[in-house]
Amino acid sequence: MTVSPLQGITHACFGLSYLLAFGLEVARLLWPAAGWRAAALAAGVAGFFAQTVYLLLHHPTPAAPYGSLLLLAWVLALFYLYKTVRDPKPVWAVFVLPVVLGLVGLSLALAASSPDLPPLDIPGWLHGDRFWGVVHGSLVLLAAIGVSVAFLASVMYLAQARRVRRKVNPNRVVPLLSLERLERTNRHAVNWAFPLLTAGLLVGSFLLRGDYDAESWLSLKVLSTGGLWVVFLVLVYLRYAADVPGRRLAWLSILAFGFLLVALGAAHPFVAGGAGR
């Protein structure tokens, strides 16, 4: 049987492509030239294509930590390409690509620790509780995208606020968006993520129906996901019901991203064999 070269695509293929794209984006910051942006975009597209092929061939389950992290990295890579095409400035690239690389690396580490993971049997998910399991996972993944965007906007907000306080010459540093635009991006991301996360948790709670013991309910994944929802609830309250400085809201968004990483990286106690996955 002839084996397609595409089946040899691994984490290293798209991970190194993203790393090259990041290096080229940094290079055009240090030595501005017309060719850097095109080269970085080409490397990013190559990495995104390789990762897409990997997902299509291996279809990792989002119920497994390595799968959910890899899917989130894929969406953020698409976000990076979209922003790079729309805006010639490297502002989003130098912040998004390190997060993508970190997610890919963490996914690789988790996949290596569970080499016996089977591929996702998609047809089996299209009935009964398994269908709603897909709905639950999709809602949480979409919420994770919003959390990630809020995190990126918050990091840039804090960096820009520090520059404004210190009156840093903008021509000598990485160009960033205005504080108003970053705050608006953060707000939109939170407004998007919170209802999706709430719906995802409600679907997940409905699926459980008390069939699991207290130890499962007190697992790291459940507690961190609940902590993420609480942080977002506080964010929504402080943003709309209290006069809270943008700096504090930015730090809360960063804390929410920390809960997200723990939730995605933790084993799923409600999936068969989840302890090892």
Long-range contacts of 43-46 (CB under 8 A, 24+ apart): 43/17, 43/18, 44/17, 44/18, 44/77, 44/80, 44/81, 44/84, 44/93, 44/97, 45/81, 46/14, 46/17
Q: Which has more pLDDT, 126 or 269?
A: 269
pTM listed for this prediction: 0.74
Alpha carbon distance 154, 156 (integer Å):
5
Alpha carbon distance 167, 26 (integer Å):
23
Which segment of 69-78, 90-99, 155-164, 251-260 scores lowest on mean pLDDT? 90-99
Query: Would the pLDDT of 154 be above 80?
Result: yes
Helices vs strands, H then E, count in the chain: 9, 0
Q: Which has more pLDDT, 182 or 175?
A: 182
Query: What pLDDT is stored for residue 48 in this prediction?
Result: 94
> Band of the pLDDT at 231, cuts 50, 70, 90?
confident
Average pLDDT over all residues of the chain: 78
> Band of the pLDDT at 254, cuts 50, 70, 90?
very high
Could you tell me the two tokens for 190? Answer: 């939170």
> Band of the pLDDT at 123, cuts 50, 70, 90?
very low
pLDDT for 6-53, tens place per residue? 667 788 888 999 999 999 988 887 787 778 888 989 999 999 999 999
> Band of the pLDDT at 210, cuts 50, 70, 90?
low
pLDDT for 64-118, tens place per residue? 778 888 889 999 999 889 888 887 777 778 889 999 999 998 888 887 766 554 4
Q: Which has more pLDDT, 168 or 195?
A: 195
Alpha carbon distance 53, 59 (integer Å):
9
Query: What pLDDT is stored for residue 251 in this prediction?
Result: 92
Query: What pLDDT is stored for residue 18 in this prediction?
Result: 93
How do the domains of the chain map onto residue ranges?
1-116, 124-271
Alpha carbon distance 27, 46 (integer Å):
19
